């Protein structure tokens, strides 16, 4: 297979969520084309999709090393650092990307990192300045609402969400499509308007079917007390592409959050069918079993999770693993 064919085939496999196959093809290409930064980025993307964060950082880093002034490469590396909670490193990279490009989206990624670092006042200043300059950017008001909530400013949070909703409605009226309806529905859900959110998500679905929209419809249905209909929507979201490991993990995590523990275990198990060694999936199963008062089984899965972390050469105390789930399991089996 020629070098060009390797990349084209890898892109096709990525589109079909065949990430491991795509990874192998990209690596084969890069063996002979080590200076191709764009393909290092593509490799990083499929590694992120498999939640291989440290390998992705290495791939993105190779791209950055070969082109230190490419804002897209810097931002990709920054996002990967954010995925492993190294927000300070991510912030520096987003700052460089913003300076090089002048793209305000990188600027509010800087503010995002400040928020994750607990520096909410600083984040709010950046969002507010950007909102003054880009008053039609709905995403800024979404972020401002989040920060105001952390700062215990309920009136300001509500006002920011109100402004966001106005802009989302305007976008739907001007250009109705899957994206504008989805983002409007998302804003409605964050303001607690679940029935309206459900209808808006259904409108988004009428333009384009995808797993995320089914998931959010299920979320709205669950909030409305329609549990059976919600479970049906969750099943549709999972069935949309049964090979999408990252989405199955997201769905299972969400089901844990809303206390549907048995359903969550089912989807963690489906994820493990695709990738048998994954600490976070085993942690999820262990936590759900603990909540179901099946402590012996929970302990067994917890031990497997810790062993898997060791295989990945990550200490169990690594911040990537720390969560409400791991803290509860540590406490239960100390």
Flag whether 294 is in a domain.
Answer: yes
Same domain for 213 and 273, yes or no, is no
Flag whether 283 is in a domain.
Answer: yes
Flag whether 95 is in a domain.
Answer: no
Name the band, by pLDDT with cuts 50, 70 and 90, for residue 5.
confident
Q: Check residue 277 and give its pLDDT.
A: 76
Q: Is 17 left (phi over 0), alpha (psi -120 to 50) or beta?
A: left
Is the model's pLDDT at 318 over the cut of 70? no
Same domain for 246 and 327, yes or no, is yes
Of the candidates 313, 248, 269, which has an alpha carbon nearest to the alpha carbon of residue 49?
A: 248
Are the C-beta atoms of 181 and 212 separated by less than 8 Å? no
Q: What does each C-alpha distance from 9 to 1, 30, 31 come to in angstroms? A: 10, 14, 16
Q: Compute the distance between CA of residue 55 and CA of residue 297 in angstroms, rounded to an integer.
A: 31
Same domain for 233 and 247, yes or no, is no
Share of the chain above pLDDT 90, in %: 77
Q: What does each C-alpha distance from 40 to 45, 206, 280 come to in angstroms? A: 9, 36, 26
Q: What does each C-alpha distance from 257 to 10, 175, 209 come to in angstroms? A: 35, 34, 24
Same domain for 309 and 260, yes or no, is yes
What do you get for the CA distance between the two ends of the chain, in Å?
Answer: 53
Name the band, by pLDDT with cuts 50, 70 and 90, for residue 316.
very low
Of the candidates 143, 234, 128, which has an alpha carbon nearest to the alpha carbon of residue 190?
A: 143
Q: Of the residues 240, 257, 276, which one is the last residue of a structural domain? A: 240
Going by C-beta distance under 8 Å and a sequence separation of 6 or more, which residues neighbour residue 266?
none
Q: Of the residues 225, 240, 255, which one is the last residue of a structural domain? A: 240
Q: Check residue 320 and give its pLDDT.
A: 46
Please identify which residue in the block is written with the tokens 């291989």.
52
Mean pLDDT of the chain: 91
Q: Of the residues 196, 225, 240, which one is the last residue of a structural domain? A: 240
Same domain for 280 and 216, yes or no, is no
- pLDDT tens-place string over residues 239-296: 988 888 888 999 999 999 999 999 999 999 999 998 877 888 899 999 999 999 999 9
Flag whether 153 is in a domain.
Answer: no
Flag whether 43 is in a domain.
Answer: no
Name the band, by pLDDT with cuts 50, 70 and 90, for residue 118.
very high
Is the model's pLDDT at 2 over the cut of 80? no
Region 149-168 average pLDDT: 96
Is the model's pLDDT at 147 over the cut of 90? yes
Is the model's pLDDT at 311 over the cut of 70? no
Please identify which residue in the block is written with the tokens 């600083």.
122
Q: Check residue 240 and give its pLDDT.
A: 86
- pLDDT tens-place string over residues 74-115: 999 999 999 888 999 999 999 999 999 999 999 999 999 999
Are the C-beta atoms of 271 and 245 separated by less than 8 Å? yes
DSSP labels, 266-332: HHHHHHHHH-S--HHHHHHHHHHHHHTT-HHHHHHHHHHHHHHHHHTT--TT-TTT-SHHHHHHHHH
Count of C-beta atoms within a 10 Å radius of residue 21: 16
Flag whether 146 is in a domain.
Answer: no
Between these two residues, 142 and 240, which has the higher pLDDT value? Answer: 142
**Domain boundaries, position 250:** 241-334
Same domain for 259 and 271, yes or no, is yes
Same domain for 226 and 298, yes or no, is no
Same domain for 186 and 262, yes or no, is no
Flag whether 167 is in a domain.
Answer: no
Are the C-beta atoms of 207 and 177 separated by less than 8 Å? yes
Same domain for 300 and 320, yes or no, is yes
Region 27-46 average pLDDT: 95
Q: Check residue 319 and give its pLDDT.
A: 45
Same domain for 194 and 245, yes or no, is no
The structure tokens listed for 35 are 């200076």
Same domain for 231 and 304, yes or no, is no
Q: Check residue 51 and give its pLDDT.
A: 81
> Based on the structure, what is the number of domains in the chain?
2
Same domain for 250 and 322, yes or no, is yes
DSSP labels, 78-113: HHHHHHTT-HHHHHHHHHHHHHHH--HHHHHHHHHH
- pLDDT tens-place string over residues 220-237: 999 999 999 999 999 999
| CATH number for the domain that contains residue 202 | 1.25.40.10
Is the model's pLDDT at 70 over the cut of 50? yes
Angle of helix 245-257 versus helix 261-274 axis, rounded to 10: 160
Q: Check residue 1 and give its pLDDT.
A: 52
Q: Check residue 124 and give its pLDDT.
A: 96
Is the model's pLDDT at 164 over the cut of 80? yes
Is the model's pLDDT at 25 over the cut of 80? yes
């Amino acid at each position: 297979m020629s070098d060009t064919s390797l990349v084209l085939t890898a892109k096709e496999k990525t589109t079909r969520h065949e990430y491991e196959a795509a990874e192998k093809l990209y690596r084969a290409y890069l063996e002979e084309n080590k200076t191709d930064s764009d393909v290092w980025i593509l490799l990083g993307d499929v590694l992120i999709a498999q939640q291989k964060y440290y390998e992705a950082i290495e791939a993105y880093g190779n791209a950055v090393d070969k082109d230190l002034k490419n804002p897209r490469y810097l931002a990709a590396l920054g996002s990967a650092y954010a995925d492993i909670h190294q927000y300070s490193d991510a912030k520096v990279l987003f700052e460089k990307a913003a300076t090089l490009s002048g793209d305000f989206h990188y600027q509010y990624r800087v503010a995002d990192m400040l928020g994750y670092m607990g520096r909410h006042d600083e984040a709010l200043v950046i969002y507010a300045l950007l909102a003054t300059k880009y008053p039609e950017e709905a995403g800024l008001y979404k972020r401002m609402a989040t920060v105001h909530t952390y700062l215990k400013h309920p009136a300001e949070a509500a006002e920011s969400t109100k402004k966001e909703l106005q802009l989302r409605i305007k976008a739907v009226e001007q250009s109705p499509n899957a994206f504008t309806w989805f983002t409007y529905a998302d804003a409605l859900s964050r303001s607690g308007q679940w029935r309206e959110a459900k209808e808006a998500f259904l409108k988004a679905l009428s333009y384009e079917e995808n797993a995320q929209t089914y998931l959010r419809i299920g979320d709205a249905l669950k909030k409305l007390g329609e549990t059976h209909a919600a479970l049906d929507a969750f099943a549709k979201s999972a069935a949309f592409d049964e090979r999408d490991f990252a989405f199955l993990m997201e769905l299972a995590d969400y089901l844990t959050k809303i206390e549907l523990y048995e359903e969550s275990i089912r989807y963690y198990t489906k994820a493990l069918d695709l990738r048998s060694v994954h600490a976070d999936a085993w942690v999820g199963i262990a936590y759900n079993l603990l909540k179901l008062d099946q402590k012996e089984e929970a302990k067994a899965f917890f031990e497997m999770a810790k062993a898997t972390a060791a295989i990945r050469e990550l200490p169990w105390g690594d911040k990537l693993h720390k969560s409400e789930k791991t803290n509860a399991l540590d406490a239960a089996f100390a």
